[in-house]
Amino acid sequence: MVNIPHVVILGGGFGGLSAANELRNTLSSSQVKITVIDKKDWFMVGFAKLWIMNGTRTFENSIGSLKELEKKEIDFVKDEITSINFESNHVETKSQKFSFDFLIISMGAVLAPQKIPGLVKNGFNLYDHEQLSEIHDKLQNITSGKIAICIMGMPYKCPPAPFEASLLINSMLRKRGIRDSVQIDFYSPAPITLPAAGPEVSKRILELVNSEKIVFHNSSKIKSVEPKKLIFENSEADFDLLLAIPPHIAPKVIYDSRLAKESEFIPIDRSCKTSFENVFAVGDVTNLTVTEKITVPKAGVFAEGEGTTVAKNIISKIQSKEDSALFDGKGGCFIESGRGTASVIEVDMFTNDKPSTNLTELTADNLSKKIEFEKERLSKWL
């Protein structure tokens, strides 16, 4: 009997789905067995969360079912991954055990609001899909006071997203005719708006939010949250509604299996290899250094590019070829203005070994491209 290599993919998000599809588009089910494991059975493009927040979308209309993978002869298992064993090359979930020849770890980052004392009780987690409809209701009912958007740890997913959230909230309040009665404050621990995008792009993002009377407070390192009060290392600030971007950590399994040190992410290079043979990691669960101070940002486009890179490297191994692909570090993140337009932050992380970035003009065409980006991912992957 022929032994078909088994690729097990942990996590069916951007990284896992791009890898699974690239593998299956190149190799048939007689050449490779692919299993995707995820604790949930749906996938959503991250930015759709902000459309649920502003009420232009529902959760149900924003997701694709991971069960669709079965149609492509990709096995899908809905279960929680509980351990990874590198001596016997197997993964355990709550109810099953899977042996692998190749492993792709694409488990994303975990939101950890509990790391900030008082946050869970006194504020909302803007990135938690389960809190979005309540956030929407609060935004629809506020008539005056202060909304605080606060980044509570670095790195976090999609660096421009909280700025985009502030612009969409601004638009909601404007449409209700109450913008002048509600102050929007944006707090970040960073000295500039988007450190990974560099000072030039950061300045233009600052100008964009300032033009909508959103106040950016830089170098604001959060310590704790009290009722209606943010306590920073060097100051305090009042709020009526707090939308937080909590600290991000790797899933517990990653620390338990010693793939990363406590509070860190899995270190990888541009081939997305880990320190274990035939074990790769991609996306938000990783840390890919670009320069001493800059790492590849946590974004779907980069997880997708890394997923494709890993699939190519596994295909080469299965076909006994020497080729080794490197992640190119290219991608773009949309930033929507709330006025029917968007711009794109175009990024090339590895030009001359340092990132180069460009912010395009705000246009309606870019907003259409953003809508298309989501449609394309859902239709080509699921």
Ligand X SMILES: Cc1cc2nc3c(=O)[nH]c(=O)nc-3n(C[C@H](O)[C@H](O)[C@H](O)COP(=O)(O)OP(=O)(O)OC[C@H]3O[C@@H](n4cnc5c(N)ncnc54)[C@H](O)[C@@H]3O)c2cc1C
Nearer to ligand X, 4 or 110 (CB): 110
Our finding on whether 40 is near ligand X (CB under 6 A) is yes
Question: Which of the stretches 34-42, 171-179, 197-205, 356-364 binds ligand X when contact is defined by CB under 6 A?
Answer: 34-42
Closest-CA residue to 345 (of 286, 309, 380, 297) = 297
Handedness of CA 296, 299, 304, 310 (dihedral sign): positive
Q: Does 105 bind ligand X (CB under 6 A)?
A: no
- We find the least distance from the C-beta atom of residue 281 to ligand X, in angstroms, to be 9
**The pair of three-digit structure tokens given for residue 57, joined into one six-digit string:** 């979308």
11 makes contact with ligand X (CB under 6 A)? yes
Tokens of 122: 């006194």
Task: Extract the runs of DSSP E, i.e. beta strands, from 53-212.
Answer: 63-65, 75-78, 81-85, 90-93, 97-99, 102-105, 110-111, 124-125, 145-151, 182-187
What is the C-alpha to C-alpha distance for residues 7 and 106, in angstroms, rounded to an integer? Answer: 13
Residue from 8, 9, 15, 250 binding ligand X (CB under 6 A): 15
Distance (Å) of CA 89 to CA 6, 33, 268, 276: 11, 15, 19, 10
| Residue with smaller CB distance to ligand X, 33 or 78 | 78
The window from 11-19, 67-75, 166-174, 229-237 that contacts ligand X (CB under 6 A) reads: 11-19
Question: Residue 381 Cβ, how far from ligand X at the closest point, in Å?
Answer: 11
The crossing angle, in degrees rounded to 10, of helices 300-318 and 14-26 is 30
Q: Which residue has the tokens 């959060």?
A: 222
**Is 129 one of the binding residues for ligand X (CB under 6 A)?**
no
Q: Is 41 in the site for ligand X (CB under 6 A)?
A: no
**CB-based contact 367:50 (threshold 8 Å):** no
Considering only 113, 153, 246, 300, the residue that binds ligand X (CB under 6 A) is 300
Which is closer to ligand X, CB of 29 or CB of 83? 83
Query: Which of 21, 35, 106, 170 is the binder for ligand X (CB under 6 A)?
Result: 106
> Footprint of ligand X on this chain (CB under 6 A)?
11-16, 37-40, 46-47, 49-50, 80-81, 106-108, 127, 157-158, 161, 251, 253, 283-285, 298-301, 303, 333-334
